[in-house]
Copies of this chain bind each other. A is one copy, B any other.
Amino acid sequence: MQRTIKKIGVLTSGGDAPGMNAAIRSVVRTCAYHNIKCYGIYRGYEGIIDGDFVEMGPRSVKGLINKGGTMLKSARSKTFRTKEGRQLAHDNLIKAGIEALVVIGGDGSFTGSMVFNEEYNFPVMGIPGTIDNDIFGTSHTLGYDTALNTVVEVIDKIRDTASSHNRLFFVEVMGRDAGHIALNVGIGAGAEEILIPEEDLGLERLLESLRRSKQSGKSSSIVVVAEGDKIGKNVFELKDYVEENMTEYEVRVSVLGHMQRGGPPSCFDRVLASRMGVKAVESLLEGKSNYMVGIKNDVMDLTPFDQAVKGKSKINKELLRVSDIMST
């Protein structure tokens, strides 16, 4: 099936992630390539409700591919969660002649799109943009690869101090529900232990592991902790617990926070964003709707929104074992 579309709107929603700008650029240029008008919508769904649109041509996205954040800005919209809000949104889109939407964001954003599509049969296509990589239907979300590099570079710096002073550092990284970042940067930065939401290591094993690590001649140690680690203690509580139970280490804490979200995207994220933008627009032109674009085995793929939203991306258990062996 081919769908004739004259105007596509694009928005970013939820937390920002590196590669969102590259995805906007790709949507805009793919529209231009197919002679479709493209409208940028500011501040996510909020911008539809406010009618905050801007026409974008291929030159409007010049110099955008390597910029972090999102030039269209992002916001969480309470109004769009109401029936009245969505009605207003639909009216505004119709008024502006926008016939389909590309939504760049995470789980929550796709749920919004799904509901909107159900109510108004409005063509929507999603692009997964979040550093957490916690979305089902794609091996990589936009921004994840960049965040891994950002975090690994920061922990490299913390390691300089840790090993200069024979210290133990607890480093908290993003990941409320998913340990992808923690697990990969833990291995990448040579962490002694990695605490993630998916696995309950147990406090006893942590102590044991730190003791063994000390005995094996390591003078400093890094423990990477995902925000939502299963042990249920935050990094400051972990510090206290370890200091009470071990005297061998001076313990320090570092909470990396929002910096993990910013910065120029990695080459991988730039290419992925470019591919996803093309796929999203061309899928709409092929008559498809209500899907999230994903990448599987380096091939572009579509996952229905309801599956993407309900499913859960799993961590790679092999990595847990590799981490164990590496901290020998």
Contacts and interface: CB of A to CB of B under 8 A. Distances in A.
A65 B150 CA distance: 16
B160 A150 contact: no
A158 interface: yes
Given A73-B165, A164-B74, A275-B318, A262 B16 contact: no
Interface in A147-169: 148-154, 156-161, 163-166, 169
A262 B158 contact: yes
A154 B111 CA distance: 32
B59 A217 contact: yes
A47 to B, nearest CB: 12
A254 B262 contact: no
Interface string A312-328: 00001011011001101
Most B CB atoms within 10 A — which of A58, A152, A169?
A: A152
Contacts of A29: 325-326, 328
A247 interface: no
Given A216-B58, A259-B157, A326-B29, A166 B271 contact: no
Interface string A20-60: 10000110011011000000000100000000000000110
A103 to B, nearest CB: 15
Interface in A271-328: 271, 274-275, 278, 296-300, 316, 318-319, 321-322, 325-326, 328
B139 A328 contact: no
Chain A contact residues (Cβ within 8 angstroms of B): what range? 35 or more
A145 interface: yes
Contact of A254 (B20, B70, B257): B257
A86 interface: no
13 contacts: A32-B328, A66-B156, A67-B160, A69-B161, A73-B166, A148-B267, A156-B263, A169-B258, A187-B274, A252-B258, A274-B322, A274-B326, A275-B319
Q: Would you list the 8 A-B pairs with minimal beta carbon distance, nearest first?
A: A157-B262, A160-B262, A69-B160, A68-B160, A148-B267, A16-B164, A188-B270, A188-B267
Interface of A: 12, 15-16, 18, 20, 25-26, 29-30, 32-33, 43, 58-59, 62-63, 65-70, 73-75, 139, 145, 148-154, 156-161, 163-166, 169, 184-185, 187-190, 216-219, 252-259, 261-264, 266-268, 270-271, 274-275, 278, 296-300, 316, 318-319, 321-322, 325-326, 328
Given A63-B163, A274-B322, A278-B321, 17 more contacts: A16-B160, A16-B161, A16-B164, A20-B164, A29-B328, A32-B328, A62-B218, A68-B160, A69-B161, A69-B163, A73-B166, A148-B268, A156-B263, A158-B258, A158-B262, A187-B271, A298-B316
